Amino acid sequence: MPSYSISASEIKYASGSSWTSGKARQGVYSSTRYEGALNFPDLANFNFSNAAITGIQMRVTFGPAGGASTKYLTLYGGAQNSISGSIGSMRGSAFGAVSVSSAYDRTVTLDFNSGSEAAIYNS
């Protein structure tokens, strides 16, 4: 089965509308809420009319923050073609949340398949 790989051209996080490059942070720390954004511009040029996507993989590194409990990674569609402005102006429709057990200070590969995460494929 053929595959298509892309990388994010922008990886940033914000608390409000001030964006910082380098990582896509998500959650609350010291009462400040952070949200991250990843930009995959090559998807805009991909011809989806002749493709049947059945799986998506994303490799995610969780830092040594918070506890060793389950973490939730919430996925949204993008509302813009670049990362700028307020968090709210960047966020499109929610695709859903993915839970990752024991996420503290480790890298995991998340597998999204069209059966168990149908909302991601139907958005």
pLDDT 10s per residue in the chain (123 long)?
677 888 888 999 998 788 999 988 888 888 888 888 988 888 878 887 888 777 788 888 888 877 778 888 888 888 888 899 988 898 888 887 888 888 889 999 988 877 777 767 666
- 48 falls within a domain: yes
Instruction: Say how far apart CA 87 and CA 66 lie, in whole Å.
Output: 22
- 101 falls within a domain: yes
Range of 87's domain? Answer: 10-122
- 4 falls within a domain: no
- 2 falls within a domain: no
- Taking alpha carbons only, the member of 61, 74, 81 closest to residue 34 is 74
Q: What is the pTM (predicted TM-score) of this model? A: 0.75
- 36 falls within a domain: yes
What total of structural domains would you count in the chain? Answer: 1
- 53 falls within a domain: yes
